[in-house]
Structure 1
Amino acid sequence: VTSVAFSPDGNRIVSGSDDETVRVWDAKSGDHIGSPLNGHTPDVTHVEFSPDGNSVISSS
């Protein structure tokens, strides 16, 4: 894992990784929400939620 961020409401966590994926997690249970988001090359270096928590921004 190369980057993590909490959603503005604290209920979700987004993570970026050197496996080129972005994942969203339930902060309370630790479970994945949905499938990993693919498409980055190389490693994901930064992840963030939008201020309203409805979007995830990532960079590599």
Structure 2
Amino acid sequence: MAVSSDRCRSLKYPYVAVKLKVADPSGQVNTKSIEMTIPQFQNFYRQFKEIATVIETV
């Protein structure tokens, strides 16, 4: 994933805002919002890719 912005330079600490739809055990879907720094997002993305790989093998 790649992101760019001509306005990013003016931000002191750029961040990524993520909205997730998560189903609880009863099947009810809830929306969760998360804000992360760029390095946190990159780690989050790597972990999600690893999870997706494991799920595909099940």
- TM-score (norm: length of structure 2): 0.24
Relative contact order (alpha carbons < 8 A, sep ≥ 6): 1 or 2 greater?
1
* Structure in which a larger fraction of residues adopt strand: 1
Mark the structure with the bigger radius of gyration.
2
